[in-house]
Amino acid sequence: MTQVEDQATYGQSASRITALDSTRALAIFGMIIVNVGAADSAGLPALIVSVLHGRAAILFIVLAGIGVTILARSLKFTSAPLWPSLAWRAAVLMLLGLVFQQLPTGVNVILMLYAALFVCALVAVRLPSGWLQGTAAAMTVFGPITYIVLHSVGDLPEGPASLVHNPLDSAAAIVLTGPYPLIVWIAPFLFGMWLGRLDLRSPGVHRMLIIAGAVTAGVCSLASWALIRILGEPDAEQVGPDHLLLASGHSQMPLWVLSAVGTSALIIGTMLILTPRLGRLAYPLVVTGQLALTAYCLHLAAIAVLVRPASENPNRGLLLSAVIIGLIIALCVLWRAFAARGPFETLLRLPNFLTR
């Protein structure tokens, strides 16, 4: 490869990474709006929250899968083992998640799921691409079915893992029946890992993500709407087989998973095209995405201080979301001017004494 070709490849790779960073920032912003707002009100604020509900978090998980693939590729070039880095990150994320879950936010913290997925990645990263696709497809079906069965026959915890709960109950919540059950959410994570193996610099891949994502999201949402019109609304009180009709956010059902993954692919493909064209205008998004863990933790602290107890006015929820997002962007830009990594991102770095 010539020097000119090498520089061009590096530039394309850098733009790909910054595009993923800016997309990660959008996922954070979406989760902030969902966690601050209320979908059970009326009007435009409720519509915005309901559209983002369950989709922003799935986008966050798909990007986590892409990130693991990129991390594995980068460590492979340096001949460094992957498992210590993933194991350390899982341990740090689990501890942070359990600590932040104790804040009076009313938010189900997603970091414990992140930790569990990183443990799964120790095995998944070795799978061929076809196996990643096949396992993701299988878990899209069998994960929700298992979730339904467990809720039908067992008395398992439905709330998040917590430091004040029995460790076995917390483990069951993370893996099986909690707000982010691993058996369901591993599907978008594995899809993200597979996605990370594609040539994300390719315009053809960008178009494929946009078109396939839009079609998948639209078809699954339409199918859910039609099935509910024909068969009736599922029981809102008890999780059962009729919930398989749902594509609503956090229903944990296949049509929702597919719809949310399709939306994620659409957004990722769009941002891969848009971010390089925005140039310096994308810098605040890119920086916030680079400090995603810090931004996520900051938003939980902000909710505990600024939002709770929540207001019944949905417009106030949108306003507070905008304020929190603006503050987080400003803090991330300011921090990045003086340091290469955010404070919580630094914690994710494997300590030197563990690399010896």
Percent of the chain exceeding pLDDT 90 equals 68
User: Where residue 82 falls among pLDDT bands split at 50, 70, 90?
Assistant: confident
Region for 160 from its dihedrals, namely left if φ exceeds 0, alpha if ψ lies in -120 to 50, beta otherwise: beta
Percent of the chain exceeding pLDDT 70 equals 91
Q: Is residue 192 part of a domain?
A: yes
Q: Is residue 8 part of a domain?
A: no
pLDDT at 11: 44
pLDDT at 40: 58
Token pair recorded at residue 308: 């709770």
Write the pLDDT tens digit of every residue in 199-256: 999 999 999 999 999 999 999 999 999 999 999 899 877 888 999 999 999 999 999 9
| pLDDT reading at 126 higher than 90 | yes
What mean pLDDT do residues 176-195 have? 96
Residue 296 sits in which domain range? 16-197+281-354
Q: Is residue 160 part of a domain?
A: yes
What mean pLDDT do residues 133-152 have? 94
Greatest pairwise CA separation for the chain in angstroms: 64
What mean pLDDT do residues 3-17 have? 49
Number of separate domains in the chain: 1
User: Where residue 349 falls among pLDDT bands split at 50, 70, 90?
Assistant: confident
Q: Is residue 104 part of a domain?
A: yes
pLDDT at 41: 58
pLDDT at 132: 95
pLDDT at 175: 95
What mean pLDDT do residues 31-49 have? 79
Q: Which residues contact 148 (CB under 8 A, 6 or more apart)?
A: 239, 240, 241, 243, 244
User: Where residue 42 falls among pLDDT bands split at 50, 70, 90?
Assistant: low
Write the pLDDT tens digit of every residue in 298-332: 999 999 988 776 666 777 888 889 999 999 999 99
| pLDDT reading at 178 higher than 50 | yes
Q: For the chain, what is the mean pLDDT?
A: 89
Identity of the amino acid at 201? R
Token pair recorded at residue 55: 């989709």
Q: Is residue 242 part of a domain?
A: no
Token pair recorded at residue 86: 């993933």
pLDDT at 165: 83
Q: Is residue 72 part of a domain?
A: yes
Write the pLDDT tens digit of every residue in 250-279: 999 999 999 999 999 999 999 999 999 998
pLDDT at 312: 66
CA dist 274 and 21 (Å) reads 12
User: Where residue 350 falls among pLDDT bands split at 50, 70, 90?
Assistant: confident
Look at residues 113, 110, 90 and name the one whose alpha carbon lies nearest to residue 101.
Answer: 110
pLDDT at 50: 85
Given the structure tokens 């029995």, which residue do they identify?
166
What mean pLDDT do residues 334-339 have? 93
Write down the H helix ranges in the chain.
3-36, 44-52, 55-78, 83-101, 111-124, 129-153, 167-172, 182-196, 203-231, 254-278, 283-290, 292-302, 314-338, 343-348
User: Where residue 66 falls among pLDDT bands split at 50, 70, 90?
Assistant: very high
CA dist 119 and 107 (Å) reads 24
User: Where residue 75 falls among pLDDT bands split at 50, 70, 90?
Assistant: confident
